[in-house]
Amino acid sequence: MARDRKPSRSRRPSRSRQLSGSRRARFALLSVATLTIGSTALVEVPVSAAAKPKGHDVSSHQKNVNWSKAKSKGAKFVYVKATESHTYRNPYYGQQYHGARNAGLVRGAYHFALPHKSSGRTQAAYFVRNGGGWRADGWTLPPALDIEYNPYGKKKCYGLSKAKMVGWIKSFSNEVKRQTGRRPVIYTTTHWWKNCTGNSSAFASNHALWLARYSSSAGALPASWRTWTFWQYDNGGSLPGDQNLFNGSMSRLKKFAKG
């Protein structure tokens, strides 16, 4: 996702989901093949998805967003980073989340997971307390969990076994569902999902998929998901932050938001 500043003592930058700017450099360190992302940024919306509602995701890296300008460039929805781990809150969250709604965008909040820092339940509770809520108003997307390769260390699956990673995600999901009434959307890459969960099929039946793949097509999906709900197809473009599409019409997007 769009990068943030690191929330703890270190000055090293953190990201919200994939990258922004130097994000592509970080992906290169993980190897291009690893993330199944194309070697060059896409300039246009993929032809196969050009008619779908266009959106984006932002974090503190984007600071105060000009929402009227984003809307004029075609933005229909946005996900805003709220939290990371159990200690960090996006300082621009209010301007971004409420500003998007005031401009007429459907918006939602996401949490960047650091599963080695605390339990899924702990991070979910922190997320909901700090912006990760939901209500059935047709303008609020369900909370989203951003789970991907560790940007801070060599243990790319955070030192968790595949079984423990699946358990962590279940714990996060159950707490979000308990507090908000919705299961979180899961943001990930197919490669991460295979490597770090063993390609678990435990979530596809009741969790919407937000797939990250920088290419002209979404490509192969993680186990048991038959389709993507959101697709992050590039980390830069006409909208602030990462570029995304919703897999349906605008009326379907509003219906998905309402639950």
Catalytic residue among 4, 44, 137, 148: 148
* Distance spanning both ends of the chain, measured CA to CA: 25
Catalytic residue among 4, 57, 234, 242: 57
Catalytic residue among 4, 44, 84, 146: 146
- CA-nearest of 256, 164, 158 to 207 is 256
Residue 183 · residue 177 · CB < 8 Å: yes
- CA-nearest of 248, 113, 256, 77 to 183 is 256
Q: Catalytic annotation on 57? A: yes
Cα separation, 223 vs 29, in Å, equals 26
Q: Catalytic annotation on 137? A: no
Q: Catalytic annotation on 242? A: no
- CA-nearest of 117, 64, 122 to 90 is 64
Q: Which amino acid is at 132?
A: G
Read out DSSP for 141-206? PPPEEE--S-SSSS-TTTT--HHHHHHHHHHHHHHHHHHHSSPPEEEE-HHHHHHHHSS--SSTTT
- CA-nearest of 253, 212, 208, 210 to 233 is 212
The 8-class DSSP code of residue 115 comes to T
- CA-nearest of 244, 154, 147, 240 to 200 is 147
Positions marked catalytic: 57, 146, 148
